[in-house]
Structure 1
Amino acid sequence: MRTTLAMFPLEMVVFPHERLALHIFEERYQQLINDCEEKEITFGIPAYINRKLAYGTEVRLEKIEKKYATGASDVICRGLRVFSIVNFQPTLNDRLYAGADVIFRENHKDGSIRQKEHFINLVQRLYNVLEVDFPEIPYEEITSFSFAHKLGLSLKQELLVLKMMRESDRYVYLIDHLTVTIPIIEEINRTRQLIELNGHFKNFNPLDFTDYTLGEID
């Protein structure tokens, strides 16, 4: 089923349930935020990658944090549903902002408890390696989208995750990514520690060792 959404293209990927802070300064998007506030409409943020638009996330305005005399504002939005674009319109009817006919994609919540726990354990391990505090998120609220911006994914990889319509597939992809990424970071940390330890050798004087013999090590 098609529906029409106002569009706010950005060079980023927005995930469902994500809390997003935006600074609105262009006139067309000031108009969009006013319409969201007055008419309670939602809008779409399609990922603008390589000058292309295809997928994005519907978002809802949750709060206007601050309004400026210029008409600009700081707002908080919340990600809702993933959509694919059928037809993009540079302006939506008589509005300044763009619009698009979209189809909402069904999200299959088929991830297993085992996948979820494995995923969480890997994320915790990554945060430990990076010496970053693990965020306090209730277990039941954690999904494959919860840490997607903080796993070292490229923009294209984030878009790939967004396009996956099964939670189980997203877990498989992210678990594979973390399984490869974490050992690399651990090795980098180990190398860094060795370099730091090697600093102790700056005071090494070979003349201090006067009693030694030459030969192969057994």
Structure 2
Amino acid sequence: MEPLLPLFPLQLVAFPGEALNLHIFEPRYRQLFAECETDGITFGIPAFLDGKIMEVGTEMRLVSIEKKYDSGELDVKTEGVRPFRIEQLYRKSPGKLYAGAEVAWLDYAPQPGDPIVSARILDMTETLFGLLQIRKPLPEDPAALRTFELAHHVGFSLEQEYQFLCIPTEMARQAYMEEHLEKLLPVVREMDNLRKRAQLNGHFKELKPPQF
């Protein structure tokens, strides 16, 4: 039997490849990160949604401990490794303060997506960023895009992010993200139009009458 994977449930979805900075203050997780530092173990972040731990999460590794406070609190940098599914959850790992689980590793093959679809996704994301006045660089090469890179930046709800993590292939994730952006952009455009009309309210308007 493989050792239990330590768990650090959070109200967020972590993705493979994601860089995630965390502030650690609870004693059980200070214990966990001490072991990550000394023993090189990894841990899992399953999303905590609707009052429960979801079954799919992402294995994380400690990259560095950036700061140790006199109180014992920590600032840490971590990185997503691979997804897993919880087979058996233990509220406390044997002899530990933190939870653990028997897990099955999910086979997310690193196959590329369709670069044509990636180009469309990047174009729509650029449009979205422009409407929302977000200044964030986007990948330049559609062929190199992995949708997990954009998953926190395209307006997914937390529940949608979790659904996205559960999709096993890049092409299926592309389809999910493209459909989402196609539905979201008209809503954001209309909100932008409403904002502009509200800003003009009370101003003198120079309007060209229609020809009839």
Q: TM-score, normalised by structure 2?
A: 0.90
- The residue that corresponds to 2:14 in the other structure is 14
Closer/same/farther in 2, CA of residues 3 and 166 from structure 1, 3 Å limit: farther
Structure 1 position 137, deviation (Å): 4.2
Q: Which residue does 1:165 correspond to in 2?
A: 168
- Do 1:2 and 1:103's aligned partners in 2 also have CA atoms closer than 8 Å? no
Cα distance in 2, alignment partners of residues 2 and 133 from structure 1: 44
Instruction: Output the CA distance in 1 between the equivalents of 2:92 and 2:192.
Output: 50
Q: In 1, distance between residues paired with 2:129 and 2:101?
A: 39
Equivalent position of 2:118 in the other structure: 116
Secondary structure at the counterpart of residue 199 of structure 1 = coil
Tell me the SS of whatever aligns to 2:30.
helix
The aligned residue for residue 77 of structure 2 is 76
Show CA shifts across 1:156-197 (max 9, x none): 111000000011111111111111111111111112212222
Q: Which amino acid aligns with 1:64?
A: I
Aligned alpha-carbon RMSD (Å): 1.9
Structure 1 residues 46-195: aligned runs within 5 Å: 46-53=46-53, 54-108=55-109, 109-135=111-137, 137=139, 139=141, 142-195=145-198
Query: What residue number does 1:34 align with?
Result: 34
The separation in 1 between residues aligned to 2:199 and 2:69, in whole angstroms, is: 49
Q: Is the 8 A contact 1:124 1:134 kept in 2?
A: no
Contact kept, 8 Å, 1:5 with 1:44, in 2: the verdict is: yes
Residue 198 of structure 1 is matched in structure 2 by: 201
Task: Give the drift of 1:27.
Answer: 0.6
Query: Could you tell me which amino acid in structure 2 is paired with residue 195 of structure 1?
Result: A
Q: Bigger radius of gyration, 1 or 2?
A: 1
Q: Structure 1: 5+ residue runs without aligned partners?
A: 203-216
**One-letter amino acid matched to 1:38:** T
C-alpha separation in 2, matches of 1:67 and 1:38: 15
- Consecutive unaligned residues of structure 2, counting only runs of 5 or more, are 206-210
Q: TM-score, normalised by structure 1?
A: 0.87
Q: Which amino acid counterpart does residue 148 of structure 1 have in structure 2? A: A
Specify the alignment match of 2:208 in structure 1: none
**Structure 1 pair 77–141 and aligned structure 2 pair: CA distance change class (3 A):** farther
